[in-house]
Amino acid sequence: MMATETARQENSYQEAFRALQETQSDPHVSWLARLRENAMARFEELGFPSVKDEEWKYTNVAPIARAAFAPRLVAAAAGSSDAEKLASFSVVEAETSQLVFVNGLLRDDLSALTALPREVVALDLSQAIADERYSEIVRRHLAREADYVAHGFIALNTAFISGGAFVYIPQGVVLTTPIHLLFISEGNQTASFPRVLVVAEANCSATLIESYVSTHDDTYFTNAVVEIVLEEGARLEHYKVQRESAEAFHVATTVADLGANSSYDSTAITFGAALSRHDINVTMDHEGAECWVDGLYLVTSTQHTDTHSVIDHRKPHCTSHQLYKGILDGKSRAVFNGKIFVRHDAQKTDAMQTNKNLLLSNEARVDTKPQLEILADDVKCAHGAAVGQIDEDELFYLETRGLHYDLARNLLTYGFAEEVIGKIKIESIRAQLDEAVLNRLNARLEA
Amino acid sequence: MLEIKNLYAGIDGNEILKGINLTVRKGEIHAIMGPNGSGKSTLAKVLSGHPAYQVTKGEVLYEGKSLLEMPPDERAREGVFMAFQYPIEVPGVSNAQFLRLAYNEKRKHLGEEELDPLEFKDLLRERAKVVEMDASFMSRSVNEGFSGGEKKRNEILQMAVLEPRLAILDETDSGLDIDALRIVAGGVNQLHNSENAVILVTHYQRLLDYIVPQFVHVLANGRIAKEGGKELALELEQKGYDWLKTTAPENGVVGAQTN
């Protein structure tokens, strides 16, 4: 019974896959067709991960395998995305430096890039591949760090690479305007496969916002893969804001490859989706790199969210900081699995990892597993995890200042989230998230 | 304003207060002194409604209403304030945000219009002068990373914003250097007037050089062992708390109230 179900689902992806291969058989990009072919073949072998897989022990993706999600291979017609809603998804600081995708496919009519200097490229991925100025760069980096051979979801995403975003910041460019990649999902039962490649050349500096939203409370599946390459001395601030529909499934992989003395500052915010999973893997294979891999997940009702991170220290003198905070209400469930590897050569590594969870209900549950594997001997590493409830002393203190019990609780919860939200340097996102946290808490507090 | 009648209270089944009687009228400043373990901090916590303490007997009337029946937040909105001995840190919540929220909760309770952030900023700037706090404290998280003295000043700032009718200061002088003590005491003196009352809970006479009480009550073993005017504190300072053991009746029975 199980087997036939699974087979049927794979067939439905295969059908769309064949259609994609037929419509996009440009001989100039035969390497891409081959890549997709290999990835699809690999996906057919791997299938979706099961809970028997250690990395998926607490997250059951059988509902994704069972559902009849179908990818859209042609961008929706202009006007089908609610313009008013779109405005509410925009980030003021990036209104003229945004690429808007509907169901994973770029919509030129909703995008605007006038704020970007000419040398900075933010382009549809398939256009970049077809453009001889960029095709070589794309080919060199695409699917190099995101390993489709080992991971089913990455394989499926890779099989459906067509649209997506290519972001290229040339050497030495200091970009003050953030680039916003806005992924909107529309319609029930759609599957979308956002694919992003960011190449930041030596000593450049940029900010990237990646957000996921939906126009309606639809049931759909987002399977995103973001590959980031930072060359020597490059600096990237990266915000991932996941506010999918409460019925959605969101699986995303972020891989970042850090050059010497580069700096990668990532903040992942998770509010949405019935089931979400984020894998973030940072590889530090050159000396002197530094990264921040932070996040906040705030879930309620029966939401399930899972974060798996790998920070791989391979070379000396690299520093990593990680702070993930979780707020769980209702019967929600969260998983945090953070691995830090300090390889043999990675002397003078400084690695710090913290995962703190706040349970607002007795029925919420979190499984947290920070893991540290150290093979070098001259390193400074610390990690810890905590699961707790609202602090009674803090609560009493606020009550003695006249705050009702509920308000005091909400204020403390908000304060807990602030440690992550407060580090966000883009004001409108910070304000939006503050508001979202407070809405979730049914509180009304302004700064 | 406050009438404590035969109050018995404790924590985890241990009786600490064993029959406290105390009356405080508006315009008065009372000092509650006593050796460690005499119950003075317990009294402060019971008055502010700390959930860990149980009242087993007696009653407390505040403006004629039963204080013990009110939850802590209602006591606060009704005008009772306690400055904590160890003020709590509230990460992620700015001082200004917290104070405005508390201030507006009280305004709402009194049926008054709430202040918007700008209006409140002006008020806060004005009140902060009472404890000589500069604006940088307003954007920082409540008490987080504050020194001992800054935390105590922040307590008095909260008092300045909330304008309580009855302020209970629990060991506010502990851990303060002389400059901070002067600022904190100066703040309390500025805020005290003929319409409100202050209860100072303290181990040492030192604070009373700066905030002069009309009445001094000395606790021992959960009861008021001795009462008098401000000179009693000086006498205690000279003779030490051991002196109580020789002068106080064994069962701590106290005669007439001081007021």
- Where do the structural domains in chain A lie, given as residue ranges? 2-286, 391-447
Pairing between strand A263-270 and A304-313?
Answer: unpaired
| pLDDT on residue A442 | 57
Tell me what pLDDT residue B196 has.
96
In CATH, which of 3.30.470.10, 3.40.190.10, 3.40.50.300, 2.40.10.120 is domain B2-247? Answer: 3.40.50.300
Instruction: Report d(CA A75, CA A14) in Å as an integer.
Output: 19
Listed in sequence order, the residues at least 6 apart from A177 whose beta carbon sits closer than 8 Å to its beta carbon are: A93, A94, A96, A97, A115, A116, A207
Q: How far is CA B69 from the centre of its chain?
A: 19
pLDDT digits 0-9 by tens, B75-100: 999 999 999 999 999 999 999 989 99
> Which positions 415-444 of A are in contact with B (Cβ < 8 Å)?
415-419, 422
pLDDT at A372: 93
CB-CB under 8 Å, A417 with B72 = no
The span from the CA of A314 to the CA of A197, in Å, is 23
This prediction's pTM:
0.87
pLDDT of residue B217: 95
Q: Which of A191, A160, A165 is nearest to A35 (CA)?
A: A160
Q: How confident is the model at residue B160 (pLDDT cuts 50, 70, 90)?
A: very high
Task: Check residue A1 and give its pLDDT.
Answer: 41
Residue A168, Cα to own-chain centre: how many angstroms?
19
Residues of B with CB under 8 A from a CB of A: 48-51, 71-73, 75-77, 81-82, 84, 87-94, 96-98, 101-102, 105-106, 109, 117, 141, 158, 162
Tell me the C-alpha distance between A249 and A222, whole Å. 6
Which chain B positions have a beta carbon within 8 Å of A401's beta carbon?
73, 76, 98, 102, 158, 162
Instruction: Taking the CA atoms of A419, A422, A424 and A430 in sequence, report the sign of the dihedral they define.
Output: positive
The whole-number pLDDT of residue A3 equals 46
Please answer whether residues A330 and A359 qualify as being in contact, where contact means their C-beta atoms are separated by less than 8 angstroms. Answer: no
A397 touches chain B (CB under 8 A): yes
Instruction: Give the integer Cα–Cα distance in Å for A412 and A224.
Output: 33
DSSP B114: P
3 state DSSP class of A367: strand
Task: Tell me the average pLDDT across B189-199.
Answer: 96
Work out the minimum CA distance from B124 to partner chain A, whole angstroms: 14
Which region among A430-434, A441-445, B131-135, B181-185 has the lowest average model confidence (pLDDT)? A441-445
Q: What is the pLDDT of residues B24-78, one digit of tens each?
A: 999 999 999 998 889 999 999 999 999 999 999 999 999 999 999 999 999 999 9
Q: Nearest chain B residue to A445 by CA: give it.
A: B101
The pair of three-digit structure tokens given for residue A263, joined into one six-digit string:
């700096």
DSSP-assigned letter for residue B88:
P
Contact A380, A410 (CB under 8 A): no
Cα(B34)–Cα(B171) distance, integer angstroms: 11
What is the pLDDT, as a whole number, of residue A83?
A: 65
Chain B residues with CB-CB distance to A405 below 8 A: 71, 73
Per-residue pLDDT of chain A (447 residues; tens, 9 = 90+): 444 444 444 557 888 898 888 887 666 678 999 999 999 999 999 999 999 999 999 999 999 998 889 888 776 665 566 666 777 888 999 999 999 999 998 998 889 999 999 999 999 998 999 899 999 999 999 999 999 999 999 999 999 998 899 999 999 999 999 999 999 998 889 999 999 999 999 999 999 999 999 988 999 999 999 999 999 999 999 999 999 999 999 999 999 999 999 999 999 999 999 999 999 999 999 999 999 999 999 999 999 999 999 999 999 999 999 999 999 999 999 999 999 999 999 999 999 999 999 999 999 999 999 999 999 999 999 999 999 999 999 999 999 999 999 889 989 999 999 999 999 999 999 988 888 887 766 544 443
pLDDT of res. B134: 86
CB contacts < 8 A, A to B, total: 86
- Do the chains contact at B91 and A418, CB–CB below 8 Å? yes
Closest CB to B88: pick one of A393, A422, A445.
Answer: A393
What's the pLDDT band for B259 if we cut at 50, 70, 90? very low
Nearest Cα neighbor of A255 from A297, A183, A314, A309 is: A309
Least Cα distance to A292 among A259, A257, A325, A265 occurs for: A265
| Contact assessment for residue A331 and residue A303, using Cβ atoms and an 8 Å cutoff | no
Q: What is the tens place of the pLDDT at every residue in B221-242?
A: 999 999 999 888 888 888 888 8
Report percent pLDDT > 70 for chain B: 94
Q: What is the pLDDT of residues B163-178, one digit of tens each?
A: 999 999 999 988 888 9
Whose tokens are 């000279």? That residue is B238
Nearest to B76 among A401, A418, A419 (CB): A401
Of the candidates A230, A217, A274, the one whose C-alpha atom is nearest the C-alpha of residue A251 is A274
ipTM of the complex: 0.93
